[in-house]
Structure 1
Amino acid sequence: MSTDETAADNMCCASCGMAELDDIKLMDCDDCDLVRYCSDECKEDHRRQHEHACKKRAAELRDKILFTQPESCHLGDCPICCLPLMFNMKDAMLQTCCSKVICKGCSHADMIREIQENRKQLTCPFCRHPKPTTVDEMKLYEMKRVAANDPVALRELGKESFQSGDYDKAFKYCTKAAKLGDVDAHYHLSFMYRNGQGVEKDLKKELYCFEEAAIGGHPRARCNLAFYEWKNSRFDRAVKHWIIAANLGYDEALHEIKNCYLMGRVSKDEFAAALRANQAAINESKSPQREAAANFIV
């Protein structure tokens, strides 16, 4: 057993050996779970000795989080029917009044109900606020959500700024949304770091943002990580990423797993398991209401 492991097991400072008592509380290393310290001075004194083991353990902990299968894609569940939302926003609608993403099945069913009740003004299926009828009203709703530090509204404003060419503003709002936990904001920030739009190019931060988005269930971000790993000949890591994305119902990832199977880098059992998980994720997102919405002709 190493000195670091002994220090952790004995609940004592890894540098000076002082034990944790009622009046002495040890603090964990900032990056790993191997050692603890009684003071900042001890942490600094022990830094060079611990640095190698710390980086190795931190990478292990990061990989454990990175390669854990998310419960659902980054959009989560529809807040009305509670069925999983898929990553394709053509099957869902963002409500500017409350920043909720509603599946088109629930939105369509609510619209039919309100028409049958002869409602003069349609309302949001979730918060029942009157729906905006003009672009100006929609913008007003959005800015109210931005003022309330709503991460979805902040990210959407960042995307709008990006599309208009104001990269500095886009980076500002996407960064703020990412800090508040918005997965899509991390995804968009990764491209800004890659292309140097509103910020200096930075490969490490690009990959970090892709990782944060992937951890949050963003299948496209995870596929980007897979292609990066494949390009660098880390084939096992690439396959892990594609399997996780396929398990979320992302067909592009399943296609890549098929290619890996044909090349002999994925076993028959692994390919079959990915096929089953992919189809199960797709089936979980289906409902009669969503099918009716998809078949609705204006």
Structure 2
Amino acid sequence: MSADDCEAGVMMMMSCCASCGIAERDEIKLRECATCDLVRYCGDKCQENHTAQHERACMKRAVELRDEILFKQPESSYLADCPICCLPMPLDLSKSIVAVCCSKSICRGCDVETQKREFEPVGNELWRKQRMKRIEANDPVAMCREGAEQYKKGDYSSAFGYYVKAAELGDVDAHYRLSLMYYLGKGVEKDGGKEIYHLEEAAIGGHPTARCGLGCHEWRNGNTERAVKHLIIAASMGHDGSIKFLMDEFRRGFVSKDDLAAALRAHQAAVDATKSPQREEAEACDRIRDTMHAKDSN
């Protein structure tokens, strides 16, 4: 059977109810199965009658559809670009700050340039007040940040609440942090299913650490091919841990030379894209500051 014949067959199936066979017309509107895109029904009764026959194919297709979303290479990491210099944000969060006025992340390079213009520094108390205002305005980034603060204090219940709300509003990092809470059992009961769900949601949203976590999970379960896919995607976003994992497994013979070479090129390109003279200057300033703090503490 040719590809054209197969396509015609699929079109014919989709134009009729999978249970009773009635064709779609003006007075009869068919609707797709809510789980897959394989069949359509004229009503709830027909869908219910067809469940036993369709269930296996439906679940298989649902997994395929989920994987299509899960293994799609994100256009960028969840951190996106710095709104000032428009370069990709570094994955190392210590190399960026969050503006209290809008909850936007700014790279340290632009932060240092801003400080040169003698803007008044923001104190911790004002920072928190501004963050709470953003939370009142349903800002998911501010919610996630507040959740992180509560987590540091050991108030896991409050942290969980902030993370859940932020995740519901689409914050990718909140999904990742929820996966950690379900993994560690802090503030919630350990739940492997919810842990993986939130890891997947974070990975789909462009969180490279979550993506690496999924790769490690698949590796432990013996799903080498899926693991390598996850790790290559994470490495392509500049994630150092993923590229190290791939290099280690290449030496053990589990990753092909071509896959590793492609991952190395993509990783280097992602890292190079985050560099700028201003960011290098900021790193130098931070090193000097850290050295001075170390001397003072001694």
The alpha-carbon deviation at position 236 of structure 1 amounts to: 1.1
TM-score when normalising by structure 2: 0.88
Structure 1: distance between partners of 2:164 and 2:76: 23
Q: Which amino acid aligns with 1:67?
A: F
Partner of 1:275: 264
Structure 1: distance between partners of 2:14 and 2:181: 46
Partner of 1:188: 177
CA distance 1:24–1:65, shift in 2 (3 Å): same
Partner of 1:126: none
Conserved 8 A contact 1:15-1:43: yes
Quick check: 7-16 or 87-96, which moved more? Answer: 7-16
- Residue in structure 1 matching 2:219, options 198, 223, 230: 230
* Aligned CA-pair RMSD: 1.9
Same amino acid, percent of matched pairs: 53
Structure 1: distance between partners of 2:182 and 2:33: 29
Secondary structure of the equivalent of 2:106? strand
Q: Which amino acid aligns with 1:23?
A: E
CA distance 1:8–1:66, shift in 2 (3 Å): farther
Structure 2: distance between partners of 1:249 and 1:271: 14
Secondary structure of the equivalent of 1:46? helix
Partner of 2:154: 165
Partner of 1:266: 255
Report how many residues are paired.
281
The equivalences for 1:61-76 within 5 A come to 61-76=65-80
TM-score when normalising by structure 1: 0.88
Partner of 2:241: 252
The equivalences for 1:1-298 within 5 A come to 6=10, 9-112=13-116, 114-115=117-118, 121-122=119-120, 132-133=122-123, 135-296=124-285, 297=288
Structure 2: distance between partners of 1:213 and 1:286: 25
CA-to-aligned-CA distance 1:74-120 (integer Å, 9 cap, x gap) = 111111111101221111111122110001111111221x23xxxxx
Structure 2: distance between partners of 1:18 and 1:7: 14
The alpha-carbon deviation at position 10 of structure 1 amounts to: 4.0
Secondary structure of the equivalent of 1:99? coil
The alpha-carbon deviation at position 180 of structure 1 amounts to: 1.1
The alpha-carbon deviation at position 7 of structure 1 amounts to: 7.5
Structure 2: distance between partners of 1:28 and 1:54: 11
| Residue segments in structure 2 that go unaligned for 5+ positions in a row | 290-298
Secondary structure of the equivalent of 2:55? helix
Structure 2: distance between partners of 1:140 and 1:273: 46
| Residue segments in structure 1 that go unaligned for 5+ positions in a row | 116-120, 123-130
The alpha-carbon deviation at position 168 of structure 1 amounts to: 2.2
Conserved 8 A contact 2:76-2:237: yes
CA-to-aligned-CA distance 1:238-292 (integer Å, 9 cap, x gap) = 1111111111111111111111211222221211111111110011111111112
Q: Which amino acid aligns with 2:32?
A: D
CA distance 1:32–1:77, shift in 2 (3 Å): same
Secondary structure of the equivalent of 1:144? helix
Partner of 2:293: none
Partner of 1:118: none
Structure 2: distance between partners of 1:256 and 1:55: 32
Structure 2: distance between partners of 1:244 and 1:19: 43
Quick check: 259-268 or 193-202, which moved more? Answer: 193-202
Conserved 8 A contact 1:31-1:54: yes
Structure with the larger helix share: 2
Q: Which amino acid aligns with 1:236?
A: E
Structure 1: distance between partners of 2:164 and 2:219: 28
Conserved 8 A contact 2:144-2:174: yes
Secondary structure of the equivalent of 2:86? coil
CA-to-aligned-CA distance 1:139-160 (integer Å, 9 cap, x gap) = 1101111011111011112222
Conserved 8 A contact 2:179-2:196: yes
